[in-house]
Structure 1
């Protein structure tokens, strides 16, 4: 990820509803959640949710997947990994052992 992409991702996550959507989709895992259900769970109007989903997808943090007539959204873990990698690119001035606790905290067995 480059600087512009990082700024887009951070801006997308810098809004309360979009942050809630992203965290919800991370918890949901690879099966994702249909767009309408996301709006219902977060008590948001579907038109508004559609705009939030578009911003997150444009930032590379989520992706839509068609499931018949339904569109499910899934957290894009590659986008998240790229964001974290950019943010930590020069971590600890060449002493990676200092970054190990952060890396362990964001590493999962998923």
Structure 2
């Protein structure tokens, strides 16, 4: 991920509703959530959530797919992983314990993701 993309992602996440949407989509997993369900969970109007979803999609943090009569949104795990990697790239010089904590967190996430895909 280049700096321009990272700035776009951080700008999109620097708003309370958008951050909550991304977190809800991460928890929802590969099934994602329909736009109406997202609006309901966030307690905002469909117009308001649509504005936020467009911003998140523009930044590449989420994707959408039409499923029947609904538009389902999903977290872009690849982009989110690239953003975390961008943050951690230059970190931890001389602090192997911090890097180990990051690796341990990644291992736990990957194991949970495998359970979500299989289960």
User: TM-score when scaled to structure 1?
Assistant: 0.92
Which digits, 9 at most, give the CA deviation of each residue in 1:41-83, with x for residues without a partner? 1110111100100111111111001112211000100010110
2:28 aligned with 1:43: no
Q: Which moved more, 1:93-102 or 1:51-60?
A: 93-102
Q: How does 1:55-66 map onto structure 2 within 5 Å?
A: 55-66=55-66
Question: Partner of 1:105: helix, strand, or coil?
Answer: helix
The number of residue pairs the alignment matches comes to: 110
Detail structure 1 runs of 4+ shifted over 3 Å in the superposition: 94-98
Q: Which moved more, 1:99-108 or 1:18-27?
A: 99-108
What is the CA distance between 1:97 and its match in structure 2? 5.1
Gaps of 5+ in 1: none
Q: Distance in 2 between matches of 1:85 and 1:93?
A: 14
Q: Distance in 2 between matches of 1:84 and 1:54?
A: 22
2:84 aligned with 1:89: no
User: TM-score when scaled to structure 2?
Assistant: 0.85
Gaps of 5+ in 2: 114-119
Cα-Cα RMSD? 1.5
What is the CA distance between 1:106 and its match in structure 2? 4.0
| Aligned residue number for residue 30 of structure 1 | 30
Q: Distance in 2 between matches of 1:79 and 1:91?
A: 19
What is the CA distance between 1:96 and its match in structure 2? 5.0
